[in-house]
Structure 1
């Protein structure tokens, strides 16, 4: 969601800046802004959906393989469990007891292999996860991307770029701060980083808009 929100702000504000650089009217800002908002939001959502779906298909193939190995070469798989738990510090009777408990149920056994070998947990295999991820990305993109358009929605015209810049800047800083929970960076530095990225994109779009406007 954080990355969806970030992209929503940057791409929509870049469109606003490009149109402003070309000195086009507010209705054009709204038309292009909303068109970009929906089209790019759907593109990101579909990309997220397909990426998650592909990941799940890979995981399903790996699970099928693990199930086959547990059924046909159980001693080798049991030894893998033993080695995993020995590496975690289990020894002697405790180790054998843990191995016996895990391998007494095939589903638990396969789940443990998936978790330790692929880092896959039950939620990763939820069939609804691709749709949920895609929907969350779309919603985050649209809500955050709408912010730079707010001044134009409420009647701003020639001076709309300034309040739009302020709203986009505040939103980028906030999203950057939220992103620090994922990246573990300092929240204020993550916010400044997002401001710089958004500023560069918007500045480039404004310059291109102004340049093209001179030749048409």
Structure 2
């Protein structure tokens, strides 16, 4: 199955093989790999690594695009490289902090909402068990099960309260119960670190090359920033394709085009503002 999370203690190579078999339409390889996976000790599946990678990728993409837009705007305005560095790094750190805090607060608010809904479902199961069971039977019959089979399956699952509450959360409310509050802190920190780290890439040339050649022109520095940013965006876009159905090269090319549009707009705005300030 495409998108299977690795079980605790399970090698990622096995899961990658299952995904590759799906992508290549190899049913026999998929069957063999699933049999091997089923033969391992069963433990609860976790997708923490995948969620962290997702936050890192999207935080990195935001960081690169935001930073490069600042660099392009400064270049369009004819600002010297020291000014570009000041604007770039101050913007990166401020935005990274904002993104990290925003990720934490939004995740925390969502988790609090989910847990409040879980407490409500627990109360309803305790006080109106027959009604909750009937709701789940109705959901299963709407999905194609017979009334008899749905009633039999749901009543068996309802013997296990915690499992049944989580099932109601997923099937009835389309909500996943968070594993712990610590995850929100980790995701916020990863967002901050990813945004700041990848956001610094367009500024590498402005940081290193003036020390090697004090007479280097702003135009060359901007071209270097364009090259570094283009490669970085393509790689990040290729990684982003892991979370979508698009090919890696199409996703990478899309990110390069998006970055180019953002840079062009920022450059022209910087050039326009510079002209307005200089001309009487």
Aligned Cα root-mean-square deviation (Å): 2.1
Greater CA drift, 138-147 or 181-190:
181-190
2:254 counterpart residue number? 193
Deviation at 1:103, TM superposition (A): 1.6
1:115 counterpart residue number? 170
2:10 counterpart residue number? none
Deviation at 1:91, TM superposition (A): 7.0
Is 2:130 the partner of 1:130? no
2:225 counterpart residue number? 164
1:22 counterpart residue number? 77
Comparing both chains, which one has the higher relative contact order based on Cα–Cα distances under 8 Å and sequence gaps of 6 or more? 1
Deviation at 1:46, TM superposition (A): 1.7
Is 2:229 the partner of 1:151? no
1:78 counterpart residue number? 133
Deviation at 1:110, TM superposition (A): 0.8
1:49 counterpart residue number? 104
Q: Evaluate the alpha carbon distance shift between residue 118 and residue 190 of structure 1 in structure 2; reply closer, same or farther with a 3 A threshold.
A: same
Task: For residues 94-141 of structure 1, give each alpha carbon's deviation from its aligned partner in whole angstroms, at most 9, with x where no partner exists.
Answer: 952x3343222321221111121233334x342122212211111111
Whole-angstrom distance in 2 between the partners of 1:134 and 1:119:
24
Deviation at 1:210, TM superposition (A): 2.0
Conserved 8 A contact 1:59-1:125: no
Whole-angstrom distance in 2 between the partners of 1:180 and 1:171:
14
Deviation at 1:85, TM superposition (A): 4.6
Q: Evaluate the alpha carbon distance shift between residue 41 and residue 207 of structure 1 in structure 2; reply closer, same or farther with a 3 A threshold.
A: same
2:50 counterpart residue number? none
TM-score norm. by structure 2 comes to: 0.70
Structure 2: runs of 5+ lacking an equivalent: 1-55, 211-215
TM-score norm. by structure 1 comes to: 0.89
Structure 1: runs of 5+ lacking an equivalent: none
Deviation at 1:7, TM superposition (A): 1.0
Conserved 8 A contact 2:137-2:150: no
Q: Evaluate the alpha carbon distance shift between residue 67 and residue 94 of structure 1 in structure 2; reply closer, same or farther with a 3 A threshold.
A: closer
Task: For residues 48-68 of structure 1, give each alpha carbon's deviation from its aligned partner in whole angstroms, at most 9, with x where no partner exists.
Answer: 112111211221121121011
Q: Which of 266, 269, 273 lines up with 1:205 in the alignment?
A: 266
Q: Which of 178, 181, 195 lines up with 1:141 in the alignment?
A: 195
1:173 counterpart residue number? 234
Whole-angstrom distance in 1 between the partners of 2:260 and 2:126:
57
